[in-house]
Amino acid sequence: MSLAEADIAFAKELFSALPDITTRRMFGGMGIYADGVIFALMRSDAQILIKSQDSAFDAKLSGMGAQKWTYTRKNGAESSMPYWTLPDAAVDDPDLATALAREALALLR
């Protein structure tokens, strides 16, 4: 499954208040960048994930109902990535989505 143009347009619009938003297709999904820094992904199922490598931000996202991206390796071991699902409230609220993206970017720079 790969992303539809409408999915890509949705992500760009959701984060349009950020400077220099660009996207790059990868692995059936895409990376979402602001000023050249990747801060989010959109998986091939069109779910948006926001990057976090900070325990306080992880806790905030978890408190908002986000879930950490985990997967099972071929050997059965569970692994996780430094990405969290975008909270449902943020999917429908560009101001909240942008605020979370700004917070993620501040921690990534």
Q: What is the CA radius of gyration of the chain?
A: 13
d(CA 27, CA 81): 15
Maximum alpha-carbon separation in the chain: 42
Q: What are phi and psi of 86, to 5 degrees?
A: -70, 125
pLDDT band at 1 (very low <50, low <70, confident <90, very high): low
Q: What is the pLDDT of residue 59?
A: 97
Range of 68's domain?
Answer: 5-108
pLDDT band at 27 (very low <50, low <70, confident <90, very high): confident
Alpha-carbon dihedral 6, 9, 10, 16, rounded to 10 degrees: -170
d(CA 32, CA 60): 21
What are the pLDDT digits (tens) for 53-104? 999 999 999 999 999 999 899 999 999 999 999 999 999 999 999 999 999 9
Domain count of the chain? Answer: 1
